[in-house]
Amino acid sequence: MDARVAVIGVGSIGSMALWQLARQGIDAIGFERYAPGHDQAAAGGESRIFRTAYLEGPQYVPLLVRARELWRELEQESGQSLLNLNGGLMIGPEDSDSMRNVLVSADRFDLPHEVLDTAEMGRRYPQHRMLPGEIGFFDEWAGVLRPEFAVLTAARRAQALGARVVSGARVTAVEPFDYGVRVHVGDRVYTVEQAVVTAGPWTAHFAPELARHVTPRKLVMTWYPALDVDAYRPERFPIFIRESGEVHIFGIPTLDGGSVKVAPHAPYGDLSDADDLDRNVAEGDLDAINRVVAELMPGLVPTPVRVSAYLEAYTTDGHALVGQLPGAENVWLLGAFSGHGFKMASAFGQVAADLVANGKTSLPIEHLDPARFAR
């Protein structure tokens, strides 16, 4: 055997899996087609939102609480700063499904928060032009993660604890056999006891029987200049998500001291394969987001100064695939995080290590079982 475990893809989830495996003393080797910390897949663009009162459903809260603890542990072990909990605003109508999920999450799990009516929002956060009927929900356990640097930090920490990382290594096949798994990389075949597939946008390559439920998508992020930059620094401008009628956007305070990231909370288009991504963005494709910025964010110049395209795999129900790869006993799949996986990557690293070590985890992942699509 070349190692006990192979991790296929050392990106957001794979780097955290490798760190957790190494922490548990499990001999692991990670294969990455680029290099840890690259920006060619799902983890590019300098910032990712962390939040705990979850509009996607309260079933995620225990994972998010654990993720927060693990981000802090990674910071402590590495001596690096990765997560700035500057707070987060969810903005939308009080009776919307998203706001209901956020309120139920906070209530059920006793999360620190404040509910702000339209007038209070206007006083505290004039950066947002509020619409009638909208409220603000302030999540204290929300903020900004540094994705590329976090991936690099976890991979380095894993290596310091004994894991191996092979960069520039594109895995072409993962082949289970009676006593383990063969991992094909170029003309070399590695043999391991178990494999963890964390290939992100390329998830379908390794799970062809689930492929019709998984779609790689293009996501575009846009940064807008601030008229008064100080009003958009993390201390004054929490991360935000606005789900209101036709408006589905998110935003992150200025990190470069000039521009503010505001982008649609929805993809720009489906791809038949992640390798087909065209990173060019036509000017007309930005009309919708520019209009929303002009209407709702009066302190920003509504023409972006930076535009970048990224990739992410989505499932048909918007929830990731986490568990045994159907039909392959020694292969664990953690992929298709459907636009909201980064914040939980640290917790899913633990899930991966738990599955490898014990075949189960105490974290709630039942709703993510890949078998729901194979059935």
Ligand X SMILES: Cc1cc2nc3c(=O)[nH]c(=O)nc-3n(C[C@H](O)[C@H](O)[C@H](O)COP(=O)(O)OP(=O)(O)OC[C@H]3O[C@@H](n4cnc5c(N)ncnc54)[C@H](O)[C@@H]3O)c2cc1C
The amino acid occupying position 287 is D
> Which distant-in-sequence residues (6+ apart) come within 8 Å of 277 by Cβ?
216, 218, 271, 309, 311
Contact between 342 and ligand X (CB under 6 A)?
A: yes
The 3-state DSSP class for residue 82 equals coil
Binding status of residue 12 toward ligand X by CB under 6 A: yes
**Per CB under 6 A, 87 contacts ligand X:** no
CA distance 156 to 150: 10
Residue 34: its H or E element: none
- Kindly state whether residue 9 participates in binding ligand X, applying the rule CB under 6 A: yes
Determine contact, residues 219/339, Cβ cutoff 8 Å: yes
Q: By CB under 6 A, is residue 171 in contact with ligand X?
A: yes
Listing DSSP states for 171-191 in one string gives EEEEEEETTEEEEEETTEEEE
Is 88 an interacting residue with respect to ligand X (CB under 6 A)?
no
**Residue span binding ligand X (CB under 6 A) among the ranges 6-14, 86-94, 128-136, 222-230:** 6-14
Nearest approach, Cβ of residue 126 and ligand X (Å)? 24
Closer of 117 and 188 to ligand X (Cβ): 188
**Residue 249 and residue 196: Cα distance in Å, rounded?**
33
Number of residues that bind ligand X (CB under 6 A): 35
What's the CA gap between 289 and 268, in Å, rounded? 11
For residue 334, the minimal CB distance to ligand X (Å) is 7
Q: Which is nearer to ligand X, 126 or 318 (CB)?
A: 318
Residue closest to ligand X (Cβ):
11
346 contacts ligand X (rule: CB under 6 A)? no
Chain positions 40 to 59 lying near ligand X, rule: CB under 6 A, are 41-43, 45, 48-49
Instruction: Find the helix packing angle between 12-23 and 147-160, rounded to 10°.
Output: 30
Interface stretch with ligand X, choices 91-99, 195-203, 298-306, 324-332 (CB under 6 A): 195-203
**Pick from 238, 302, 304, 341: which binds ligand X (CB under 6 A)?**
341
Task: Find the radius of gyration of the CA atoms of the chain.
Answer: 20
Q: Is 240 in the site for ligand X (CB under 6 A)?
A: no
Q: At what angle do helices 61-78 and 147-160 cross, to 10 degrees?
A: 60
Nearest to 166 by CA among 146, 148, 183, 149: 183
Find the farthest-apart pair of alpha carbons in the chain and give their distance in angstroms, rounded.
65
Q: Which is nearer to ligand X, 25 or 168 (CB)?
A: 168
Amino acid at residue number 203? T
Distance CA 42, CA 219 (A): 9
Instruction: Pick the closer one to ligand X by CB: 125 or 223.
Output: 223
Q: Which stretch binds ligand X (CB under 6 A): 52-60, 132-140, 197-205, 297-305?
A: 197-205
Identify which range of 12-20, 55-63, 132-140, 350-358 contacts ligand X by CB under 6 A.
12-20
Interacting residue ranges for ligand X, rule: CB under 6 A: 8-9, 11-14, 31-34, 41-43, 45, 48-49, 169-171, 198-202, 219, 221, 310, 312, 335, 337, 339-343
